[in-house]
Amino acid sequence: MTLALGCIADDYTGASDLANSLAKAGLRTVQTIGVPDAGLALPEIDAIVCAFKIRSVPAADAVAAALQAETWLRGQGAGHVLYKVCSTFDSTDDGNIGPVTDALRARAGEPIAIVNSAFPEAGRTIYQGHLFVGALPLNESPLKDHPLNPMTDANLVRVLARQSRSGVGLVDRKTIAAGAAAVAARLAALVQEGKGAAIADTIEDADLETLGRVAMTHRVSTGASGLGLGIARALVASGRVSAAATGTAGLEVVGGPAACLAGSCSQATLGQIAEAERIMPVLRLDAGRLVTDGIAETDRAIAFAAERLGAGPVLVASSGTPAEVAAVQAKFGRDAAGHAIEAGMARIAEALVARGVRRLVVAGGETSGAVVERLAIPAFRLGPEIAPGVPVLHALGIAGGPMVLALKSGNFGAPTFFADALKLMP
Ligand SMILES: Nc1ncnc2c1ncn2[C@@H]1O[C@H](COP(=O)(O)OP(=O)(O)OP(=O)(O)O)[C@@H](O)[C@H]1O
Ligand SMILES: O=C(O)[C@@H](O)C(=O)CO
């Protein structure tokens, strides 16, 4: 197997978002959980996305995981490695986008890396270095209330500089509109100024195609699935990947009980849970009790689901409003609360799978990471797209017959997302 592209994703929903964009562009893509064991049989593929849960861990741990994956991906033949971060640049001033980008760039021996989290299809655009979520600057969007990485500055040049050893510059829209040669010249000028990272503006997919062409002349870049799309299109246009390839599988029937779990507290997910209440039984967990008495609270959820699974899908949610999240965090601490709630959701998932669930929808990147790790699923191949950035995933390398999952990024999906997902997971 010789890979055209190797990717390292900082969370699991982000990984499936990227894998979806690569597959849609025609790259035969597999998503692995971390670096796979040597024994895992992989089909003939063009791209691998190694999914990690390193968005909100200490920077040194994120760097170590990313470097281990980089070594493995280069060993598989990857000429370019993309570090996949969130389209809303979720991170803190302590990391991890800056430290991981610095480390991958140093390892690759590159003077500068393109950093671009735009994803126009999902409303993430960048102008003069400022990230917009729909019509709102990042710091006015719901991301200002994120439970783990509240984003309070829309200027990505500043945000990245605070967490990087490298100087950070800007490749503005005018330069990108002038084409790949102009972008390459701007990057060279930034290197002369001593910069090691360049935030790139993006308004539309055509900008990403230009950036993709330039990124392919470097060994490493950092971005969201928009940059992945740009790189994938550049690979197809250059003939390095066959344009005839088809990246995604069609609809496959798995059957059996289905369940949904939500740990995301994003505005989008809160709306989707409210909508799901119209069509399936929904249990709202007591987040504080998940922290203080996790076994009892998760047992309550398992019993709730077990009683109802025979009749149709159920949804179990820990999700709370910003005020509820703030209250839980004030009482128990942000990280302790987050970890305890994630562990509870993972325990519920494990129990539901033991009761026959083979169709599972999970909302939230950290939540998905905890669930997929507990279920010990080593890899996924891509199925149909449910919503921009959210594909159906077919588990690879597990016992007990076929299983499909959807791992939804907190902010993605229509209000009817849970019903939309289950429709494509028959
Ligand atoms: N009621 C709650 N109070 C406090 N924290 C919560 C509550 N419910 C969930 N959490 C925690 O909030 C965090 C939500 O992060 P998660 O990554 O799962 O969702 P997200 O950030 O919306 O999704 P994404 O990363 O895909 O954008 C998790 O650590 C989860 O355990
Ligand atoms: O890029 C995004 O917004 C998503 O793929 C994601 O990373 C959410 O966790």
Mean pLDDT along residues 330-355: 96
Token pair listed for 398: 């597990």
121-161 pLDDT tens trace: 999 999 999 999 999 999 999 889 888 888 999 999 999 99
Look at residue 413 and give its three-state secondary structure: coil
Between 381 and 180, where is the model more confident? 180
pLDDT grade, residue 43 (50/70/90)? confident
Cα–Cα distance between 156 and 145 in angstroms, integer? 18
Q: Which residue has the higher pLDDT, 249 or 118?
A: 118
For residue 338, name the pLDDT band (cuts at 50, 70, 90): very high
> Residue 225 CA: which ligand 2 atom is closest?
1
DSSP 226-241: HHHHHHHHHHHHTTSS
What's the Rg (C-alpha) of the chain? Answer: 20
Strands ordered across the beta sheet of 130-133: 124-127, 130-133, 136-137
* 129 phi-psi bin (left φ>0, alpha ψ -120 to 50, beta other): left
Choosing from 341, 368, 405 the residue with most ligand 1 atoms within 8 A of its CB, the one to mutate for a pocket test is 341
Residue 61 confidence class, pLDDT cut points 50, 70, 90: very high
The predicted pLDDT at position 253 comes to 84
Tokens of 118: 């735009």
Write down the pLDDT at residue 243.
62
Q: Please tell me the residue having the least CA distance from ligand 2 atom 3.
A: 87
Of all protein residues, the one whose alpha carbon is nearest to atom 27 of ligand 1 is: 410
Asked if residue 280 has pLDDT above 60, the reply is: yes
Mean pLDDT value across residues 384-393: 93
For the chain, percent of residues with pLDDT exceeding 70? 98
- 52-87: buried (b, 16+ CB within 10 Å) or exposed (e) per residue? bbbbbbebeebbebbbebbebbbeeebbbbbbbbbb
On whether the CB atoms of residues 193 and 167 are closer than 8 A, the answer is yes
Residue with tokens 């990471």: 369
Q: What is the pLDDT of residue 274?
A: 98
Our answer on whether the CB atom of 87 is closer than 6 Å to any ligand 1 atom is no
pLDDT of residue 1: 57
Q: Show the domains of the chain with their CATH numbers.
A: 5-237 (3.40.50.10840), 258-423 (3.40.980.20)
Three-state secondary-structure class, residue 112: coil
Residue 244 confidence (pLDDT): 58
Is the alpha carbon torsion for 135, 138, 144, 150 positive or negative?
Answer: positive
Burial environment of residue 107 by CB neighbours within 10 A (0 to 12, 13 to 18, 19 or more): middle
Supply the mean pLDDT for the chain. Answer: 94
Nearest CA to ligand 1 atom 9: 263
Q: How far is the CA of 328 from the centre of ligand 2 (A)?
A: 24
Residue 246 pLDDT more than 80?
no
Q: What pLDDT score was predicted for residue 248?
A: 63
- Please work out whether the CB of residue 87 comes within 6 Å of at least one atom of ligand 2: yes
Per-residue confidence at 245, pLDDT binned at 50, 70, 90?
low
Predicted pLDDT of residue 247 = 56
Regarding the beta carbon of 263 and ligand 1, being less than 6 Å apart is answered yes
Which pLDDT value is given to residue 58? 96
Distance 50 CA to ligand 1 centre (A): 21
ipTM given for this complex: 0.96
Cβ contacts of 423 within 8 Å, gap of 6 or more: none
Which residues on adjacent β-strands are paired with residue 168? 197
Q: Residues 233-242: contacts with CB within 8 Å, 24+ apart?
A: 233/25, 233/208, 233/209, 234/209, 235/4, 235/5, 235/27, 235/46, 236/25, 236/26, 236/27, 237/213, 240/4, 241/4, 241/26, 241/27, 241/46, 242/26
**Relative orientation angle of helices 225-237 and 205-215, to the nearest 10 degrees:** 70
Indicate if the pLDDT at residue 308 is higher than 90: yes
The pLDDT confidence band at residue 252, using thresholds 50, 70 and 90, is: confident
Name the more confident of 40 and 413: 413
The closest alpha carbon to 57, from 335, 263, 325, belongs to 335
Return the pLDDT at 401: 86
